[in-house]
Structure 1
Amino acid sequence: MGQRKKIGFSIFPGWKEIKREQLDIIKIARNYGYSEIFFGIGPGTHWKTSVEEAIILAKDFLEEAKDYYTFVDINPDILKRVNASPKDLSKFINMGFKAVRADYGFSKEEIVEMSKQMVVELNPFEITEAELEFIMNNADLERIKAIHNYYPVFYTGISKEIFEEKNKLLKKWGIEIGAFISHPLYNLRTTLEMLRFVQPFDSANYLSHFVDRVLIGDPTPKEEWLKDVSIAFKSNKVRIKLYDERFKEFLKSKFYLYEEKEYAIVCKSKERIENNLKCHTKIFKNAVTLLNNDIYIFKKDLGVGPFTLIGEIDDLNIEILKMKKEFEFLT
């Protein structure tokens, strides 16, 4: 996991109604540091274009995306339809794809054969530990990566526990790992179910602690969401809802998690703040409060205490905070 973190997005060539918007995203995302594009060419939820037509339509997108790492989802049926095979991926190489994602239906021997031709993205749910060992002992290791599935159907995304279990196996071999997040226009193509309805900044911020690459699964994200994901990868920010603007500048200071008490998480900063307010506050779960120069984030509903209430934080951002060595509060 020592590689530079990367961000990407998805293109669906067969979704002809949004072709212009998808082409525009390639140009816009480049300005925010995006470097990867996932291509889905199979029939999808919103379109019925054949694989044979979708692969032709993909050429226009690849022409605009020559500087991106582009990879396409494949399975045995897709290969058959485009006159390709595990022993002959020249169709994709000649089009300009940098890699293929072996979704399902391939043997470990076929994956090794494909890696001799181009980069292969493994599907973590289609590879056993024994199969992975065979692949890593026989494939071109520079051409093996992995990216999780996305799950368009509500409530079918995987749990954090299964996600970490699969990642542990891949990390053992030093494989670069990717995963998907959704966005509010669709809330469909996410890897983790817990992130399905989460804003792109927060979901990318969270996932970046587990994988090397985060890709937006849903097509045509708004520019503000592209920017949010980029910021999440470049900064150490934790989002809170601020009640009192007088503390906004102080919260831009560098903080670190000092200790976790029975009822609260305590965060400290080297910066000092003049707080002349003498308050007693009814404590509630996820309250963000100030005591002297320390931030107290409470984990339970409690009684009244000598704290200045300045905001609140959601559970996901508490988890993000716990994973960061140093951070600023984004208000």
Structure 2
Amino acid sequence: MRELGISIYPFHATLDENKNYIEMAAKYGYKRVFTCLLSVEGDKNAIVNEFKETIAYANRFGMQVMVDVAPSIFSKLGISYEDLSFFKEIGAYGVRLDLGFSGNEESIMTFNEHGLVVEINMSQDTNYVNTIMDYMPNREKLVGCHNFYPHRYTGLSREHFRNCNKRFKGFSLTTAAFVTAQTGTFGPWPVNDGLCTLEEHRDLPIEVQGRELFNEGIDVVIISNCFPTEDELKALAGINKEMLELECEVYEGVGEVERAIIEKELHFQRGDVGEYVVRSTQSRVKYKGTHFELFNPSDIKKGDVLIESSLYGQYAGELHIARKDMKNGGKTSVVGKIKPEYMGLLDSIKPWQKFKVKIK
């Protein structure tokens, strides 16, 4: 089950502001809440009481609250990895370890009597998770979550991100990662250049970030900063979590059949992949015998949406999306263009992968 989440930072906003945000997110189906004890200083009782009230409010909406901690916080609050009753008392669903122990402690924590989930940092690509597995944890109570990076140019590279994911998915662990709201103004730390996991996401629309993370196999996508507008919450909530969707513009004058091929059909990349185009061929079968007039046979740029005209014989009606610039042989209709922010998703389409194209 793929889910969405938000982040809440007690003492960085008022209790009422956090409650209002929780309620609005719940309205759009958000299920996970990330919150952080790492950046909170002050009176222990005041901290505990505000966290308890905030978490209790999220629980009213059926949301699952993960509390981010480190071994130093365990010491400060008098908590032991062998006794997680503190987190049960404040109503948490689980504990996220920003920095871990030696592996055996995490394994022991997964057998806690309160049924709390233990979430571990998955952004390092070390043998840390392998070590925990050597100590035979309760896998049903162990999950992974990436970091977010408030400082520009410090977020994860795509290659490193994929390596981390592969390691965790090898153990069939649930994974999570963060997107940044472009309208968000704060996180848990003074620096806030956006709080994304992937550096290349920092300035992208939130729905594009979410589609990319789900396309990479992430199970839970969490908004890291506060407070997104309702429009941003709604945009992320409205994406297809199970299948890749691209957005494109279609040029004026394109026929209704061509528009239907673009937006109404379920597309998939053929298995015999070339380097120049993503090739979706079923429309030529469905619309066999239809005349496809040549339209806008201009030279082709990366991201162009193409439909072969009847001048191409048996290929007529086939949809392509250009992955490279190329010459137009005078038989291909250039009917639209993928929106620039979706180019990363275009590059990631795999053989046989299903996808949809939405006209915007």
For normalisation by structure 1, the TM-score amounts to: 0.87
Residue equivalent to 2:299: 282
Work out whether residues 182 and 218 of structure 1, in 8 Å CA contact, stay in contact via their aligned partners in 2: yes
Cα distance, 1:159 vs structure 2: 1.1
Query: What does residue range 83-98 of structure 1 map to in structure 2 within 5 Å?
Result: 83-98=78-93
Residue equivalent to 2:27: 31
Determine if the alignment matches structure 1 residue 68 to structure 2 residue 74.
Answer: no
Of residues 243, 251, 255 in structure 1, which corresponds to 2:262? 251
Query: What does residue range 1-331 of structure 1 map to in structure 2 within 5 Å?
Result: 4-17=1-14, 19-43=15-39, 50=42, 52=44, 53-66=46-59, 67-117=62-112, 118-125=116-123, 128-129=126-127, 132-135=130-133, 137-186=135-184, 188-209=194-215, 210-232=217-239, 233=241, 236-244=244-252, 246=254, 248-253=259-264, 254-258=266-270, 260-270=273-283, 271-272=286-287, 275-292=292-309, 293-306=317-330, 307-313=332-338, 314=340, 315-322=343-350, 325-331=353-359
Work out whether residues 110 and 118 of structure 2, in 8 Å CA contact, stay in contact via their aligned partners in 1: yes
Unaligned runs of 5+ in 1: none
Whole-angstrom distance in 2 between the partners of 1:26 and 1:324: 39
CA-based RMSD: 2.6
Work out whether residues 183 and 197 of structure 1, in 8 Å CA contact, stay in contact via their aligned partners in 2: no
Query: Secondary structure at 1:138's aligned position in 2?
Result: coil
CA deviation map 1:257-290 (0-9, x unaligned)? 2354343222234454764344421222222222
CA deviation map 1:107-143 (0-9, x unaligned)? 2232123222221101124684266344454322221
Query: Structure 1 61/136 Cα, relative in aligned 2: closer, same or farther at 3 Å?
Result: farther
Write the letter of the residue equivalent to 1:213.
V
| Most deviating of 252-261 and 146-155 | 252-261
Whole-angstrom distance in 1 between the partners of 2:230 and 2:23: 11
Identity %: 24
For normalisation by structure 2, the TM-score amounts to: 0.80
Cα distance, 1:330 vs structure 2: 1.5
Write the letter of the residue equivalent to 1:301.
D
Number of aligned residue pairs: 323
Query: Structure 1 130/300 Cα, relative in aligned 2: closer, same or farther at 3 Å?
Result: closer
Cα distance, 1:54 vs structure 2: 3.9
Of structures 1 and 2, the larger Rg is shown by: 2
